[in-house]
Amino acid sequence: MHNPAFFLGLLAICANAIPLFARDDVKLPGFHQPEAVPIDLS
């Protein structure tokens, strides 16, 4: 049973993390993937 606050917090974290990972000057091993490599999250 998850409360709405959990999902709101998770959504906020994801919203803040996506622009960070999308920046070209940020190179995080294991997270930064070349644009040519498809990422399957399913």
Tokens of 10: 């998770």
Question: For 4-37, b where at least 16 C-beta lie within 10 A, e where not — what string?
Answer: eeeeeeeeeeeeeeeeeeeeeeeeeeeeeeeeee
Under DSSP, the state recorded for 30 is T
Give me the pLDDT at residue 5, please. Answer: 86
Q: Could you tell me the CA-to-CA distances from 41 to 4, 18, 37, 38 in Å, in that order? A: 23, 14, 13, 10
Whether the pTM exceeds 0.85: the reply is: no
Q: What is the pLDDT of residues 1-40, one digit of tens each?
A: 578 888 888 888 777 766 665 665 555 555 555 565 566 7
Give me the pLDDT at residue 19, please. Answer: 66
